[in-house]
Amino acid sequence: MAVFVVLIAVIGFLIGWVFAYATSDESSIDWLVPTYVMVGFLIGAGLYSLFVYTQVTNILMKSANAHQLQESDDPELFNIVSDLAMVAHIPMPAIYQTDDPSPNAFATGRDPKHAAVAVTKGLREMMNREELEGVLAHEISHIKNYDIRVSSITVALTTFIAGAGTVLIVSGISLIRGGRWFSWFGSDSDNDSKSSWAIAIGILTFGLIMWIGGWVIRGIGVPVAQILQFSVSRERESLADVSGVNLTRDPQGLIDALTLLKNDTTPTDNPTAKSAALYINEPVTKRGKTPFLAKMFDTHPPLDDRIARLKRLLGEK
């Protein structure tokens, strides 16, 4: 989380430095400009994170195309979640389901009092009660351990960085287009024409700097932020496996569930969902799980490692 803050501060400072350098007529740069931009970025990230923090359930459930269930819709599912919530000493979370055929589940919310659990249609149809209990215990552990709060903030900060890059790209394109036509509004005199061209070149240059800066953020800042987000996700997933077993006292249920997920190749129908990093298992796309940059962009530890860790709880090798 500290590195996230540093990353946003660095991005803001560098953007401010580029603007100060481009608009400076002197050899020295006014360092107050990048400082103010950096502070503005940090304040903007804080406000955006606060917004996402309060609305994270609605945002992620909408992204996942999930609908809320009532107890009459799935009594067994409600019974399992209710029992686990009682053992974990947390309030009953809201329960959602998506129509995704790929088996998966995730938990979200800002705290145990404002939490929700979602399962996919594929998971509900694939698993028996013991396996489903293992998966849901894993998700309840995320709620009990406040992992959902950490994940909400990391999702917000990653989205903020991506959004900052997009805003700069769009603003840069708008300035470039505006600069092309600015010289047309000058008068017929040579001095006015030269002045109009000078202003137009300045606008074009400024727009080009913003456009390049936006792509630098998208190409470097966003991947770094994703690496940080996925690193947090991998750590919390490993802890939730063991914590979930502490709730059920039955490692075999989660072992069987993870084994089913390991052998399943059903692709998700929503690969761009913002909640993908929160799933119990990394979603499979139509192209499969891409080993891009080795394991740096994996949202979860390898299932083989997670299963082996749980088997050690049973005394198996």
pLDDT digits (tens, 9 = 90+) for 180-189: 555 555 544 4
Enumerate the active-site residues.
139
Look at 42 and 24; give whichever has higher pLDDT. 42
List the single range of 53-57, 232-236, 246-250, 309-313 with lowest mean pLDDT: 232-236
Where is mean pLDDT largest: 54-68, 145-159, 161-175? 54-68
CA–CA–CA angle 9, 217, 52 (5° rounding): 65
Inform me whether the pLDDT recorded for 317 exceeds 80: no
Inform me whether the pLDDT recorded for 268 exceeds 60: yes
Distance of CA 173 to the CA centre of its chain: 27
Q: What is the 3-state secondary structure (H, E, C) of the chain?
A: CHHHHHHHHHHHHHHHHHHHHHHCCCCCCCCHHHHHHHHHHHHHHHHHHHHHHHHHHHHHHHHCCEEECCCCCCHHHHHHHHHHHHHHCCCCCEEEEECCCCCCEEEEECCHHHEEEEEEHHHHHHCCHHHHHHHHHHHHHHHHCCHHHHHHHHHHHHHHHHHHHHHHHHHHHHHHHHHHHHHHHCCCCHHHHHHHHHHHHHHHHHHHHHHHHHHHHHHHHHHHHHHHHHHHHHHHHHHHHHHHHHHHCCHHHHHHHHHHHHHCCCCCCCCCCHHHHHCCCCCCCCCCCCCCCCCCCCCCCCHHHHHHHHHHHCCCC
pTM of structure: 0.76
Distance of alpha carbon 134 from alpha carbon 253, whole angstroms? 5
The whole-number pLDDT of residue 4 equals: 84
The whole-number pLDDT of residue 25 equals: 64
Mean pLDDT, residues 194-209: 71
pLDDT digits (tens, 9 = 90+) for 80-121: 999 999 999 999 999 999 999 999 999 999 899 999 999 999
List the single range of 18-32, 65-79, 100-114, 157-171 with lowest mean pLDDT: 18-32
Inform me whether the pLDDT recorded for 263 exceeds 60: yes
The whole-number pLDDT of residue 129 equals: 93
What is the residue extent of each domain of the chain?
1-63
The whole-number pLDDT of residue 292 equals: 43
pLDDT band at 196 (very low <50, low <70, confident <90, very high): low
